[in-house]
Amino acid sequence: MDGGGRFPEPPIAAGYAGGDAGTPAPHPGTAPAWGGPARESRLARYLPRFLRPRRSSVAVPIERRMPRHLGMGLAFGFFGLVAGAGFVSGGGYAEMAARSGTPLDMAARALGFGLDKVTISGLVQLRSAEILQAAGIDQRNSLPFLSVVDVRDRLSTVPLIGAVSVRKIYPRELLITLTEREPSALWQRNGEIAVIAADGTVIDQMRDGRFSDLPLVVGDEANLRTKEYLALLEAAGPLKDRIRAGTLVSGRRWTLKLDGIDVRLPETGAREAVARLVKLEAESSLLEKDIIAVDLRLPDRVVVRLTEEGAAARLEAQKKQQKKPKGTET
């Protein structure tokens, strides 16, 4: 207040006792607000975020809160989604994938990660083209998006493959290392011929002439006695190449097929019987005669069956022998 009793500034209403300036006093009988707004704002800084008082939002028009060109973007996105769905449902995507691969594969090839080289090691009977076809690998693949697990699983289903490993060599090479099962013989049953291993396991079906030189066993369970048949072939010595097949009869004994001649072997002592056959052939050329079967099941004799021409010739010779007068010098 100056000397004339005037205030230099407009008076400001003082707050009630204990309150900030300008804070109206509470009505009589009402407890004053503790600390007032200013004190509440100071205390709010020390409270957890979820306990702090929230400011009332300022009303802003919705068009000012939305991003610019949102409607145009949504429209383009909608039409793009419709076009993509039509492309897929109409078969366009499947045709493109069948011709050029998936979009990921195309992108990887464009970046220099195409599958340009496949190295296959361990091939003996199989061919590279068969491996690639079984693995599902062609020029549409790319190295980054080719699953080595899927390739290995596909190749493991090939009966002639015993073990296989697949490894990527960046940027553009795939290495396949495999071990083939060793075919031991052919097994014919019910008119079908299969390639089998030494233990009788079926490796694959006979599809071409690659395995035509393998020994052939015929009959039920003949595959399980392949080792026994191979031992008979070794005992045949010089006759081995003339034996075309071995038929297991009733699961008990073998009958060998030699150039149209059946050689019946005993149930026991089959190798000894084959040795007898080798000796007979060396001494008398038994297998060169007009016979269709040789029975070696009896240990003390050999029974042969003549062909029709041989039987007729033998019968004619016997008749001539009987017609000769007695005492005639021959």
pLDDT tens digits, 149-175: 999 999 999 988 989 999 999 999 999
13-64 pLDDT tens trace: 444 444 544 555 555 555 454 455 555 566 666 666 666 666 555 565 665 6
Of the listed ranges 57-61, 65-69, 151-155, 305-309, the one predicted with least confidence: 57-61
Question: Tell me, what CATH number does 253's domain have?
Answer: 3.40.50.11690
Query: By three-state DSSP, how is residue 60 classified?
Result: coil
pLDDT at 131: 95
d(CA 192, CA 169): 42
Quick one: 225 and 158 in the same domain? no
Task: Tell which of 180, 195, 223 closes a domain.
Answer: 180
Q: 235 with 283, same domain?
A: yes
Q: Which residue has the higher pLDDT, 21 or 177?
A: 177
Q: What is the pLDDT of residues 243-298, one digit of tens each?
A: 999 999 999 999 999 988 999 999 999 999 999 999 999 999 999 888 999 999 99
pLDDT given for residue 96 in this prediction: 53
Contacts by 92-99, CB closer than 8 A, 24 or more apart: 97/140, 99/140
Q: What CATH number did the domain enclosing 128 receive?
A: 3.10.20.310
Domain identity same for 288 and 208: yes
Measured in degrees and rounded to the nearest 5, phi and psi for residue 26 equal -70, 160
Q: Which residue has the tokens 């097994």?
A: 187
Residues 270 and 147 in one domain: no
Q: pTM here?
A: 0.56
> Angle at CA 282, nearest 5°, toward 279 and 284?
100
Last residue of one domain, picked from the residues 115, 148, 180: 180
pLDDT score, position 17: 47
**151 and 243 both lie in a single domain:** no
Q: So what's the pLDDT on residue 329?
A: 45
Question: Average pLDDT of the chain?
Answer: 79
Q: How many domains does the chain have?
A: 2
What average pLDDT does range 173-194 have in this prediction? Answer: 93
**Does residue 1 sit within a domain?**
no
What is the pLDDT at residue 49?
A: 66
Q: Is the dihedral angle over the CA atoms 3, 6, 11, 16 positive or is it negative?
A: positive
Name the residue with higher pLDDT: 12 or 300: 300
Q: For residue 179, is pLDDT > 80?
A: yes
Of the candidates 140, 233, 260, 248, the residue with the CA atom closest to the CA atom of residue 200: 248
The pLDDT value recorded for residue 97 is: 55
* Residue 115 lies in domain: 103-180
**What pLDDT, on the 0 to 100 scale, is given for residue 330?**
40
Residue 67 has what pLDDT? 67
* Residue % of the chain over a pLDDT of 70: 64
**Nearest alpha carbon to residue 44 among 53, 34, 56:** 53
CA angle 182, 184, 189 (to 5 degrees): 125
For the chain, the 3-state helix, strand and coil shares in percent, each to the nearest 5, are 40, 20, 40
Predicted local confidence at residue 105, as pLDDT: 86
Count of beta carbons in the 10 Å neighbourhood of residue 174: 21
Residue at 147: amino acid letter: S
User: By C-alpha distance, which of 219, 217, 229 is closest to 249?
Assistant: 219
The residue-averaged pLDDT of 121-148 equals 92
* 295 and 261 Cβ atoms separated by less than 8 Å: no
145 has pLDDT over 50: yes
* 210 shares its domain with 291: yes
**Residue range 231-238: mean pLDDT, rounded:** 95
The SS3 call for residue 81 is: helix
